[in-house]
Amino acid sequence: MLETFLRSSRFLVLVAVVATAVASVLIYLSSVSILFHTVMDVGSQVPRTPDQGKALAVKLLKLLDLLLIAITFQLIAVSLFRLFITPASVSESKLLSALDIKSFHDLKITLIQVALVIMVILFLEHAVEQGAQLETLYYGAGIALVTAASTFAWRAMKTDHGSQQAPGNPGG
């Protein structure tokens, strides 16, 4: 009886799947709206000074950041659905096979990698907005420290996960 309950409780993950899928769609729609308005703004007033060009670059970097967050939500939704709701082989899901996600552990590693890319984009935004200031150096050092720690954790997770896998169990 307990085993049956626990087996069916995996459908509670549907709440997380639906929430992340809706969040992804909302962020994609916001991104399209932002891109449309940015194109309209540039069409009506083309940047003529370096400062205006920097402002446009920052807007576009923020849009890229937003799109990466939307992709992350989409990745989480698809991965949770495939891993918990309809467990299927990785080859059946083009997204999961492209990202080599075979288990929840692989999803965590992929999310760490995406988070690092988002942090680099945030640093670029800051560097373009603030320029070469001491604050930018501190901000970059903080991001470098988090990146180094994340890379260390990612490599340790990858090594640890590889050593724990049974020969006949590729998913962990």
Distances (CA, A) of 10 to 14, 16, 55, 82, 166: 8, 11, 46, 12, 24
Task: Please say if the pLDDT value at position 165 is more than 80.
Answer: no
What are 153-158's contacts with CB under 8 Å, separation 24+?
153/112, 154/109, 154/112, 154/113, 157/105, 157/108, 157/109, 158/109
Please report the pLDDT score of residue 153 as a whole number. Answer: 79
**pLDDT confidence band for 37 (50 / 70 / 90):** very high
Domain spans of the chain?
2-164
User: Phi/psi at 132 (nearest 5 deg)?
Assistant: -85, 85
| 125 contacts 65 by C-beta, under 8 angstroms | yes
Residues 80-106 have pLDDT tens digits of: 887 777 766 555 666 666 666 777 777
Q: Is the pTM of this model over 0.75?
A: no
Please report the pLDDT score of residue 162 as a whole number. Answer: 56
Task: Please say if the pLDDT value at position 47 is more than 70.
Answer: yes
More confident residue, 149 or 31: 31
| 78 contacts 95 by C-beta, under 8 angstroms | yes
pLDDT above 70 coverage of the chain, percent? 78
Task: Please say if the pLDDT value at position 64 is more than 80.
Answer: yes
